């Protein structure tokens, strides 16, 4: 299963999504050897990014990024509007000693300054135009009390409430085989729902949330989205029933290329690259997302700096990609 299902509640302005990711998630993990707690956090972020990307109204990419001084130094998940995703995580040198039940705050907010950055980047963004970015704190301020955010789901709910002003509930689960997620979102009382009584709409939101809360991690990780939808909303009446749309495929896809690595070398500058070549004989790097390797020798170096463009069709390297 690598699919996402979108549904609407006719009796209330509520939109929902259910996602199940298997082989695409295993592709992310197959070159990694992280602790179980790290894999679960990364999996939850993959589920969250996929759910959020399904509602993008433009051709582009949603990026969730976190940096910290904790065990997880950097975490990045990218999901395009066509539900092509990739993900990576970099750990500190002492990450092997973390507790197997460590919370999100302990992994990403060790010094109480943790933040998530959610970026929405359109594919037709003009040069000089900045993408939209929203900041997600990993602490919730309740008066004078600072409450740490304990899960990816809680962090995403806070982001949707504070940045998008949309009441959102999300449930996430992941293991070494599957990532599963359920999202419920109360839409503005507008458009086709202007006829709804506000109290009726509020009661509908409460009712649908209650049904959502019955979902279990086992169901998210073992059942197809269509099956979950039927089980959750079996008792909904025809008047306030649920309409589903055709499922959409979720795929792993990396955007790395030899040309992009060449661009990075140009940014480093000729002097720096010449120094690496003199010391090591070649510049070698590996994509953090797909582990594809790239090697540039002295001949490649001349092509990088003596021509205006290096495409993937450039002379194949002597080894690697």
Q: Are the C-beta atoms of 105 and 149 separated by less than 8 Å? A: yes
Between 149 and 7, the more confident residue is: 7
Q: Of 46, 2, 50, which Cα lies nearest the Cα of 23? A: 2
| In a shared domain, residues 271 and 218 | no
| In a shared domain, residues 62 and 152 | yes
The CATH number given to whatever domain includes residue 41 is: 3.55.30.10
Q: Which of 252, 279, 295 is the last residue of a domain?
A: 252
Q: Are the C-beta atoms of 46 and 63 separated by less than 8 Å? A: no
Distance CA 281, CA 189 (A): 64
| In a shared domain, residues 183 and 200 | yes
| In a shared domain, residues 17 and 128 | yes
Task: Give the model's pLDDT for residue 121.
Answer: 92
Rounded mean pLDDT, 14-26: 96
Which stretch of 43-47, 143-147, 243-247 has the lowest confidence by average pLDDT?
143-147
| In a shared domain, residues 105 and 230 | yes
The CATH number given to whatever domain includes residue 284 is: 3.90.1280.10
Q: To the nearest whole percent, how much of the chain has pLDDT over 90?
A: 49
Which stretch of 72-81, 105-114, 215-224 has the lowest confidence by average pLDDT?
105-114
Residues 6+ apart with CB under 8 A from 263: none
320, part of any domain: no
| In a shared domain, residues 83 and 44 | yes
314, part of any domain: no
Backbone angles phi, psi at 172, to 5 degrees: -135, 145
C-alpha 110, offset from chain centre: 22
Q: Which of 206, 228, 252 is the last residue of a domain?
A: 252
Q: Which of 208, 233, 252 is the last residue of a domain?
A: 252
| In a shared domain, residues 191 and 238 | yes
311, part of any domain: no
Among 8-12, 41-45, 202-206, 242-246, the range with the most confident prediction by mean pLDDT is 41-45
236-245: per-residue pLDDT in tens?
644 557 889 9
Res. 315: pLDDT tops 50: no
Between 148 and 85, the more confident residue is: 85
C-alpha 208, offset from chain centre: 25
**The total number of structural domains that make up the chain:** 2
| In a shared domain, residues 175 and 295 | no
Model pTM? 0.86
Rounded mean pLDDT, 212-233: 95
Q: Are the C-beta atoms of 5 and 224 separated by less than 8 Å? A: no
Across all residues in the chain, what is the average pLDDT? 86
Task: Give the model's pLDDT for residue 318.
Answer: 45
Backbone angles phi, psi at 119, to 5 degrees: -110, 135
In the DSSP assignment, the letter for residue 97 is G
């Amino acid at each position: 299963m690598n699919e996402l299902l979108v549904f609407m509640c006719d009796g209330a302005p509520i939109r929902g999504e259910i996602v199940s990711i298997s082989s695409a998630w295993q592709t992310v993990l197959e070159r990694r050897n992280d602790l179980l707690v790290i894999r679960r956090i990364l999996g939850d972020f993959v589920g969250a990014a996929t759910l959020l990307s399904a509602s993008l109204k433009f051709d582009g990419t949603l990026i969730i990024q976190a940096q910290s001084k904790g065990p997880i130094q950097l975490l990045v998940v990218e999901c395009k509007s066509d539900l092509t995703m990739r993900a990576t995580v970099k750990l500190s040198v002492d990450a092997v000693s973390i507790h197997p039940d460590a919370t999100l705050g302990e992994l990403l907010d060790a010094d109480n300054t943790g933040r998530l950055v959610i970026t929405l980047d359109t594919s037709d963004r003009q040069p000089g135009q900045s993408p939209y970015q929203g900041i997600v704190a990993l602490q919730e301020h309740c008066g004078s009390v600072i409450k740490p955010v304990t899960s990816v789901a809680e962090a995403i709910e806070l982001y949707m409430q504070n940045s998008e002003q949309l009441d959102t509930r999300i449930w996430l689960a992941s293991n070494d085989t599957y990532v599963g997620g359920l999202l419920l979102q109360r839409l503005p009382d507008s458009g086709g729902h202007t006829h709804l009584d506000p109290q009726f709409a509020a009661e509908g939101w409460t009712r649908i949330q209650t049904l959502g809360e019955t979902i279990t991690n086992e169901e998210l990780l073992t059942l197809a989205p269509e099956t979950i939808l039927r089980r959750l909303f079996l008792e909904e009446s025809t008047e306030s029933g649920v309409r589903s749309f055709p499922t959409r495929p979720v795929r792993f896809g990396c955007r790395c290329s030899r040309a992009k690595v060449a661009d990075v070398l140009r940014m480093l500058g000729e002097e720096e690259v010449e120094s690496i070549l003199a010391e090591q004989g070649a510049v070698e790097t590996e994509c953090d997302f797909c582990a594809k390797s790239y090697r540039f020798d002295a001949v490649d170096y001349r092509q990088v700096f003596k021509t205006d463009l290096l495409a993937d069709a450039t002379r194949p390297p002597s080894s690697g990609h």
